[in-house]
Structure 1
Amino acid sequence: MSKTICQVVDSSGNLPREFIKQYNIIEVPFYFTFDNTNYYCENVNYKITEFYKHMVEYPDEVPKTSAPNILDWLTVFEEQYAGGAKKYIVTTISPKLSSSFQTAISAKKIFEERNKDVEIKVISSDTCACGQAALEIGIAKMIDSGIDYVDIVEIIHKMVSNISTLFVVNSLTYMKAGGRIGGAAAFLGKLINIKPLCEFIDGMVHPIKAIRGRKNSLKTMIDVAVSRIIDINKMIIIIQHAECQEDADYICNYLKEKVNYSGHVFNSGLGIIVGAHSGPGTIGIGFVE
């Protein structure tokens, strides 16, 4: 990877750990708390698996999240600048879901004022989780292939408008707790085993279809994904899950069989910024050309 282009992401995309290491991506973590007293950094001092385990064992302790602050971003910019970085590409969760984008912009202005020889592009993914991850994987591959900085930025803006982020939850309890749905809807959904298929559009959650049964919801999600893909060989695809690897394997195999695809599908855990509001068992697929 070029030493002069630095890729920085917030942890909402929760890229596969091995991919981050391979492509030398810098991740700025979100914070979260269960008790409003002890705050933890995602992927730094609290593992994703421990996070979901805590949600299961203490269902009344609804986690709260907060975005990286200006100092967090500035620290990363300064560390990379000391290593020779002059051009930065920064991607964040949608500003409609978090203040991460705004704090990154504020840090960019401060840093560029201090260092006249740097250029920082802060780009909102307009989504989160697996859709954001798909975008960031594409960016890493473009940087690695040596594409010019200006061209990469132009391509990113085109990619953002074509990201799909689909997901299903295993329980409506957490969406109710986070204010995403009402108590009556959550109660009714539990009675009739409803598993809503949702997506992120313009940074907001939109329901697509209410489906009865877990397996049906997983298959429907992939059916919708396939209906949107023109040429799967040109796509970056990632599946993210909240401690349900078996289901992730199932939809990956179902996808490959349905379109006769033998290429790579990325896989990672669902990060806390979405998992805090959707809960264990949530699973999604993100893809972009």
Structure 2
Amino acid sequence: MSVKILADSACDLPLNFYEESGVTLFPLGVHLGEKEYEDLLTIDPSTVYKAIRSGEMPKTSQASPLKFEEYFKEMAKNKEEGIYIAFSSELSGTYQTAVMIRNQVKEEYPDFNLSIIDSKCASLGCGLVVMEAQKLAASGASFAEIERDIKFRCEHMEHLFTVDDLNHLAKGGRLSRASAFMGGLLNIKPLLNMEDGKLIPIEKHRGQKKLLRRIIEVMKERGQHFDKQTIGISHADCLELALDMKEQIKAELNVEEVVITDIGAAIGSHTGPGTIAIFFLNELPA
């Protein structure tokens, strides 16, 4: 029996990936007006971006504890083992909740083998890890081999991204209000990355063209062996920009495979429209 791979919707992989790969999806919650939705299943990103543009402020919640409990118990009963690659614990309580529920299930089923990994990644940065884990599981790799590869990729995954309006991150508690205020005041575009699972502004630039050019430069500084890895691009309602970045990356970094996905409703509720993010490994697994 192959190792089951589990993920949540914050990894911003499309629904057809889950349907075709067999990876188990736990959707985060998205609250808009008086309604609550399941990210990827009952709400799409365009609905969130339209709401934000009209002045609404969506809210999000972690994946359902009840769904964790139901699925973990079913796995335990069937003597299945798996690895859940969770959204960064610095940005959501989903990881901690999953660990708590797993531990409760193990009280009833002591032999239940489920590893829950705090990816410290977000969006397609986590998604690329999930994709590779599923490939390994499908090839018959052992539990230990898959877990080791996941942890390595999570540790070495680079996130470079920019948002159109820093206030969205500040309102959602994902970035300090001081950083957002200075960005808006000076009309500059930030370059951010993830450090130990947290969002950190690292540079500020005037003008989108200059910033996107700088992203390519930082990729060259931080990355290696681009021809031997898949590069990820996720975007929030700016597909043209994502396609342009894809062409620049392929031309300058000798990249063959670039995956583009939408930033989902959950993460998009905090970043707002106009966000573009690039993901790559700074070191390849041995």
What one-letter code is carried by the residue in structure 1 that aligns with 2:273?
Answer: P
CA distance in 1, matches of 2:39, 2:248: 31
**Structure 1 CA distance, aligned partners of 2:264 and 2:252?**
28
Q: Which amino acid aligns with 2:132?
A: G
Deviation at 1:24, TM superposition (A): 1.1
Report the equivalent of 1:248: 242
Please give the residue correspondences for 1:181-196 in structure 2 after superposition, counting only pairs within 5 Å.
Answer: 181-182=176-177, 186=180, 189-190=183-184, 192-196=186-190
In structure 2, do the counterparts of structure 1 residues 182 and 251 end up closer, same or farther at CA, with 3 Å as the change threshold?
same
- Counterpart CA distance in 1 for 2:137 and 2:148 is 13
Relative to 1, partners in 2 of residues 1:188 and 1:230: Cα closer, same or farther, differing over 3 Å?
A: closer
Number of equivalent positions: 281
Closer/same/farther in 2, CA of residues 229 and 245 from structure 1, 3 Å limit = same
Gaps (5+ residues) in structure 2?
none
Is 1:126 aligned with 2:120?
yes
What CA distance in whole angstroms lies between the structure 2 residues aligned with 1:127 and 1:169?
17
Q: Which runs of 5+ in 1 are unaligned?
A: none
Aligned to 1:44: 41
What secondary structure is seen at the aligned counterpart in 2 of 1:273? helix
1:16 is aligned to 14
In the alignment, the residues of structure 2 paired with residue 260 and residue 234 of structure 1 have an alpha-carbon distance, to the nearest angstrom, of: 9
- How do residues 32-181 of structure 1 correspond to structure 2 at under 5 angstroms? 32-35=30-33, 37-57=34-54, 59=55, 61-79=56-74, 86-179=80-173, 180-181=175-176
Q: Quick one: distance in 2 between partners of 1:181 and 1:99?
A: 19
State whether residues 40 and 265 of structure 2, in contact with CA within 8 Å, keep that contact through their aligned partners in structure 1: no
**Residues 6-51 of structure 1, C-alpha deviations (whole Å, 9 max, x = no match):** 111011111133332231111100112133x321110111112212
Measure, in 1, the Cα distance between the counterparts of 2:147 and 2:100. 19
User: Following TM superposition, by how much is the alpha carbon of 1:114 offset from its aligned partner in structure 2, in angstroms?
Assistant: 2.9
Contact 2:234–2:276 (CA under 8 A) maintained in structure 1: yes
Q: State how far apart, in whole Å, the 1-side matches of 2:9 and 2:35 are.
A: 19
> Which residue in the other structure is 1:6 paired with?
4
Q: Does 1:282 align with 2:254?
A: no
Distance 1:79 1:287, change over 3 A: farther
Instruction: Answer whether contact 1:70 1:106 (CA < 8 A) is retained.
Output: no
TM-superposed CA distance for 1:233, in Å, is 2.7
String of CA shifts for 1:87-113, please: whole Å, max 9, x gaps.
Answer: 111011111111100111112122233
Supply the AA of the counterpart residue of 2:279. G
Q: Does the aligned pair in 1 maintain the 2:44–2:265 contact within 8 Å?
A: no
Whether 1:207 aligns to 2:201 is: yes
Aligned sequence identity (%)? 29
Query: Which whole-Å CA distance do the structure 2 matches of 1:187 and 1:74 have between them?
Result: 41
Letter of the 1:16 partner, please give it.
P
Aligned partner of 1:27 in structure 2 is 25
CA deviation vs aligned residue, 1:195-218 (integer Å, no higher than 9, x gap): 100001101111111011122222
CA-CA distance at 1:181 after TM superposition = 3.9
